[in-house]
Amino acid sequence: MPIWALDPGSLGSQCYEATHYLLYRQHLNPYALLILWQVGLTGETSLTRFESDPVRLNLLVEKLIADGYGPDHEVIIYEAATLALMPVRADRLALSALPDAALSPVSTLVIPPLPNAPKDAAMREKLDALMA
């Protein structure tokens, strides 16, 4: 699926700055699109380093796995073109490969949603009862 086909309106979306996601307890929905900004600077809190760190990226991977994504879940490193003639970067890789990826301070991590969100049967019954 091309990156432009990921429709945030169909299943929802959530966006966080990557370090903010690490430092705070977020309630992620892995069945919605997730966008993490500045993934190349994940875990950098000193504001003095501007390169990615595989150790910090591994912490990000560990947290994403704990939040429901598998190590083989496909993620996309995205970088928008800044000039009309420049290409867009949209590199696909397994989540577990992220610590070894070439990232820049402007890299964004796009995480497609997991398939088959569980349905809430009790809520469906309540809604159906209202329609009767």
For residue 43, what pLDDT is reported? 84
Long-range contacts of 17-26 (CB under 8 A, 24+ apart): 18/42, 18/43, 18/60, 18/109, 19/43, 19/44, 19/45, 21/60, 21/63, 22/59, 22/60, 22/63, 26/67
Using CA atoms, how far apart are residues 86 and 16, in angstroms rounded to an integer? 26
- Tell me how many degrees the CA angle 81-5-105 measures, rounded to the nearest 5: 35
Burial 12-22 (b: 16+ CB within 10 A, else e): ebbebebbebb
85 CB-near residues (< 8 Å, 6+ apart): none
For residue 4, what pLDDT is reported? 59
- Which residues sit opposite 74 in a β-bridge? 94
Condensed to tens digits (0 to 9), the pLDDT of residues 45-92 reads 877 777 788 999 999 999 999 999 999 999 999 999 988 899 999 999
Class of domain 3-131: alpha beta
Ordered by start, the domain boundaries in the chain are 3-131
**pTM surpassing 0.95?**
no
- In this structure, of 20-29, 40-49, 53-62, the range with the lowest mean pLDDT score is 40-49
Q: Is the pLDDT of residue 6 over 80?
A: no
